[in-house]
A and B are shown apart, each in its own frame.
Chain A
Amino acid sequence: MTSAGQLRHATIVQGMNRMPGLLKLGSFLALLFLPALAMAAGGAEIQAMSVEYRDVPGIGSRNLVWVVAQQHLLLAGFVLGVPIFAWICELVGWKTKEQRYDKLAKEFTKLLTSAYATTALFGGILLFLLIGLYPKLMAYLTDMFFPSFLVYCLLFLLETATLYMYWYGWDYMQGNKKTFHLFLGFLLNLFALGIMIVPNSWATFQASPVVVGEGDAWARAWMAMKNPTWWPVNIHRLIANVVLGGFIVGAYAGVRYLLAVSREEREHYDWMGYVGNFIGVFGMLPLPFAGYWLMREVYQYNQQMGITLMGGFLAWLFILQAMLIGVLFLGANYYFWLGITHRIPGSEGQYKKPVMGMLIVLLLCLGVWMTPHSLVASLAEAQKMGGTHHPLLGVFGVMSAKMTVSNIMILVTFMSFIMYWRAGKQETAGWAKAAKAIMGALLVIAGIAVVVLGVWGYFVPAIIRINYFSVAQVLIVLFIMVTFTPLTALLMKSAKTTTEMVWGKMPIRAGYSLVLNAVMVILLMSLMGYARSSSRVHWHIYGVMRDTSEYAYSPALGYAAAFMSLNTFVFCLIVAFIFWVATLGDKAKAQPPKGSPVDIPSHTAPAMAGGAPSSGEKLE
């Protein structure tokens, strides 16, 4: 080890002496288990003295790291999102006593063991590539963050041990032990959250570094971790992982629904697709708010970075983002509407007009959201318009309009869900009429308020709009969601079912719409990853360490989109492989005889939508 390495090691040991006992034990264990990483980091430092970069012939170092990092991140999102999905399902099954939710949770937890291994594999490849191809940068980050590496590895050990207990103890921990199993599921997600937020600090430090003052290694690492965009990214990624987990489950169910040969299979995967879509939409609704907070923090940290993102060379990226989010909103709503018309017989005519109205509103909003600030125009066209701003469409190209329509799209999607929830039921509570009237009035007032604030936003300074008007719009929409959900749940609790819900009758296009939603989410994650990385422009660490390699430029959107598409396709294949491997054992099991009772009652409404849980199969 070099003298600098010895000095740092001594500093770490000194830092450990000042730590609480448990943390010290954990760090010591992590140190024991991590000789390879420590040596690799030390090696990077030695190499950094002579080599700043290495290249890979043909594909190029940057492109190779791009593909591997993207696969690792998407897989990580998957393995962090699925446990949240599984735990929520298990919790719902435990609360409602419906066995099918417990089975669903178990089915997806089974995937985690192979998915974890694949994620770790790509993580390991990424680490080796980074150490080999970017030794100077890695030496700097290792010097800054080494104590957090230990915490990261400790969390991995805890996560793995918890996953083993959670998965292998599933059948054992039923009945009285179920609460402990749920607690294990909670711990699993808690450690997973830690595994996500620790490396987030490394990546966000690259985008929004802070000057690190004096202190021991632990204090310095903590100072660097607490950078301005750390928590906005943590929250944004946490919600995004829920969305990814939900929609991938939905896509899996969609594919299995398309492949299904028996009625039982169709019913099962139709229901699974519903649950996946529900959780995906549930996460998607607050996601734009988290994204807004992140952008606010970026602007607060460095206005130039914000301008690069929103108004600089990445401005057109946000038009693509609007398109993808718009298709996702349309896809999720379309699936809800298909559910209303195919699962609840006789409701086609009843909901035709509201569905058409919602579709028109969504398309209009999408049109506004996708309107660019500056149009691509020929010289003659620009002279006619008096610039690149269209006299009419230019009004829609600004943030005030986009914030307004995104809030309206969230409101419409939320109302789609409420409509689906209430379909085929008749409220019996005495106060139902008054409650529905109040909800209707609140919805109208909220819609008008969001539009008024949006229009008013044109006439006030940007800072007033950003700090007050946009925040007010978000709070109004959140208020509607927070008040309508429990109110509808109360209404539906005593409602009588007028039309039974029928599973397994969805058309083929429903399966494709679930696949489309998942592809949109994966593309969105890839696109925004490119945006986050490109916002640093020619810096490895913004304003601190300049990228002096031949790949210091940020590629244009078209080239980047080709990579995103490639990454998305490869990720889909990897996930399909994981699902295939995980279900190999099931295929070997004997098929149940025809006509045997299925575990999914075809007439029940899902408990997640406040249906009649009492009619489901009871847990022992």
Chain B
Amino acid sequence: MRRPAPARAGTARPARRRPRAPRRPNWLAGTGALLWLLVVGLPVYVLLVASVRPREGYLSEGPLTPPADPTLDNYVGAVRNGFLTFVANTAVVTVAVAALVVVLAVPVGYAVVRARGRWAGGVLRFFLLGLAIPAQAVVIPVYLIIRELGLYDTLAAIILPTAAFALPVCVLILTGSMRDISEDLYEAMALDGAGSVRTFLRLVVPLSRPGIATVATYASLQAWNGLLFPLILTQSRDQRVITLGLFEFQGQYRVDIPGMLAAVALSAVPILILYLVARRSLVNGLMGVGGK
């Protein structure tokens, strides 16, 4: 039996042909995959089950048994603990980082790909130097700069360095996707008398949309996942983002484990929604690869 090839919108891949007679099932690979399924699935299951277990039941009931008396109290508790403030702060940081990165990186990509002259390659190398520099390495001077700018304990303190450290990968992705725009299209724009601003807005931006989506997603994920910058650059509770909220939660003297696990589960919901509505760009963003 042959299954129809899954439709993959927007890919210019050659159609895959896997015809052929029914194959011998690969038991070894199947077993391995099942084993990994357990390694991944069990902790997630334990997490979800524990998050709906009444607090008293966490120690007495086995971790795998479904709760005798499931409850949403832990989720309510997480929300009461200010989780929604953390979500709102994270949303501000995430959107701002994504916007900043797109606004800064897209023109850089255009310049690198289209400019005449040696400097364009130099600009690219300048950004690439930062490709493997971990943000951890510069957190002390970043702390100094942010304090000198008077931004300590504000969301801007998280946004600015996070965006800066997302730039190298984003410039790389954008130059990759912009190189695919054909010379003919540029010439057609030139015949219309378009200067570089109109060429950029009418041709480069629309045709690099997949790349821009990838870059925005990648930058968002960096902002979403970051713990170090919030940990060092913010202090007060009303500037707290989700990752820092979780970190503070687990550091408390008497940890309410089901409550904490409910907060962990809640923290995955926005990414899950993103996965459902924009799977392709999420996957590209995770990998930091160009949208083509």
Q: Do A and B come from one complex?
A: no
- Residues of B bordering A, CB below 8 Å: none
- Residues of A bordering B, CB below 8 Å: none
